[in-house]
Structure 1
Amino acid sequence: MRGRVRVVALVVLVVVLAVVAAVVDVPTVEQLRAHVRAAGGLAPLVFVAGSALGTAVFFPKPVLAAAAGLLFGLVQGVLLAVVGFTAGALLSFGVARALGRSAVEARLGSGRLRLVDSVFASNGFAATLVLRLLPVVPFTVSNFAAGVTSVRARSFALGTAVGLVPSTLIAVVLGDALREPGSPRSFLALGAWLALSAVALVWGRRLLARASNA
């Protein structure tokens, strides 16, 4: 009974956060720049903290990544965004692990969900990395979902940090390219995004096939 209550609480929390994120207005670029200027020397720390909290509550990660490129440039923007996003992912992961893992584990059965859980158990780093390379999977949703799997927190954190580098780099390049409308970098970034998605799909299928044949 207690397990069901925790799962219900987790679902309600995710839904509430998603609704709040949907109704709250996204800051404009000028507003973000104003906040950065107001923070002065603490701007990088403020951005990391804001990114961590933002991604934990369904704030659009691509918007934050693009903002990092606009506000801090390519190299520093990628670094700050990856640190903030990883921290936010671990926050969501920890909440889901505490509330839902035990109840979900007892109800996995022997079907597709059990197979996916076994992949995260035996190949946690690779499974998390695939998850990060799929831009179609909502970032915050995947963090909560990973929390109820058997993936180790260390594997999740490492896979998240490594997997965020290419996807964040692409988004930051897009944000940085907005300074120069029509820049070919934007087209290159979109092409790279599609390539990453294809790689992740193939890799993910292989992980599932290997687990099902084990």
Structure 2
Amino acid sequence: MLAPAPRPPGSLAFRCSRALLAPRARLSVLALLLLTAAALVLLYEPQRLLSSGWPAQTSGAGAVLLFGLAYGVCTAAFVPRPVLNLAAGALFGSAAGLTAAVAGTVLGAGIAFTLGRFLGQDALRPLLRGRWLTAADGQLSRHGFRSMLAIRLFPGVPFAAANYCAAVSRMGYAPFLLATALGTVPNTAAYVVAGAQAGSPGSPAFLFSAGFIVLSGLAAAVVAWRKRHGLRAPDPTVENAPDSTPEPEPVGRP
């Protein structure tokens, strides 16, 4: 029996498959996934399940692993990380809670990075024409690890925004995930310890972690304000530059 002849490149099936794999079609799929995830978070509030509705029969390393997996999925779906970090500390204590939170953070960042890389990069890279966007893309592409490490250490940068910006750049998986794992430890640890010590708010551990959270938030606000003020301020070199218009030569008397 003869095999069916391959469909010509101009066939309807070929054109449909090519249209579905086009960069804008994949970007539309990414936007639909993100909108669906955000709607599910608003509708079901999965952070409440992780904080108060966690099954009592789950314990030990299996529970920590399960929580880390749920943490990663929820983080990729825009559930706020501070709420999840507090829940990790309240459920598992400082050490195990920090392990679950950091593992879930890396997992959620990897999910978002993968979605952004395969569904949005080809469509968004041609749009990087502005000066600031081009500079950010070059910084992340050439100095991926140290740039992402600085972003993770700075608490004012939204977690999801950093994931998708890195996905659009040419940063590799290894520096992105390693910088995420190292850079999120200080802020994550502060929230986890606060959640673990929530029952004794007068303890030194709780006071230290709460103070770290407040100071880091104030520092982020000050830096963001200075950056915004610096962008609005006029350039003094332009204001003080001498006028390049030549003065008219005096007309001599006859």
TM band (smaller chain) = 0.7 to 0.9
Residue 11 (structure 1) aligned to one of 31, 37, 41: 31
For residues 25-70 of structure 1, what are the alpha-carbon distances to aligned partners after superposition, in whole Å with 9 as ceiling and x for unaligned? Answer: 33264322xx2x3223421111111111111111221111111111
Q: Pick from 96, 102, 108: which aligns with 2:122?
A: 102
Larger mean Cα displacement after TM superposition, 139-148 or 86-95: 139-148
1:144 offset after TM fit, Å?
2.6
Answer 1 or 2: higher relative contact order, Cα 8 Å, separation at least 6. 1
How does 1:1-214 map onto structure 2 within 5 Å? 2-25=22-45, 26-27=47-48, 29-32=51-54, 35=55, 37-41=56-60, 42-196=62-216, 198=219, 201=223
Gaps of 5+ in 1: 206-214
**8 A Cα contact 1:3 1:102, kept in partner:** yes
TM-score, normalising length: structure 1: 0.82
Report the alpha carbon displacement of residue 140 of structure 1 after superposing the two structures with TM. Answer: 2.7
Q: Against the structure 1 CA distance between its residues 97 and 112, is the aligned structure 2 distance closer, same or farther, given a 3 Å change threshold?
A: same
Q: Is the 8 A contact 1:133 1:196 kept in 2?
A: no
Q: Structure 2: which amino acid aligns with 1:31?
A: G
CA gap 1:158/1:51 in 2 versus in 1, 3 angstroms: same
1:187 positional shift: 3.9
Identity %: 33
Shift of 1:96: 0.6
Query: Cα deviations across residues 146-204 of structure 1 (Å, max 9, x unaligned)?
Result: 211222211110110001111110110110121213445444324323554638959xx
Q: Which has the larger radius of gyration?
A: 2
Deviates more, 1:101-110 or 1:76-85: 101-110
- Structure 1 residue 120, shift from structure 2 partner: 0.3
TM-score, normalised by the number of residues in structure 2: 0.70
Superposed CA RMSD in Å reads: 2.4
**Distance of 2:38 and 2:179 partners within structure 1:** 24
Give the letter for the 2:59 counterpart: G
In 2, Cα distance between the equivalents of 1:127 and 1:193? 22
Amino acid paired to 1:6:
R
Q: Which amino acid aligns with 1:30?
A: S
More moved, 92-101 vs 21-30: 21-30
More helix by share: 1
Mapped to 2, the partners of 1:62 and 1:94 lie a distance apart of 23
CA–CA distance in 2 between the matches of 1:123 and 1:112? 16
| Aligned CA distance change for structure 1 residues 124 and 194 (closer, same or farther; 3 Å) | farther
Q: Counterpart of 1:129 in 2: which secondary structure?
A: helix
Q: Give the 3-state SS of the residue equivalent to 1:102 in structure 2.
A: helix
When structure 1 is superposed on structure 2, of 98-107 and 165-174 the one drifting more is 98-107
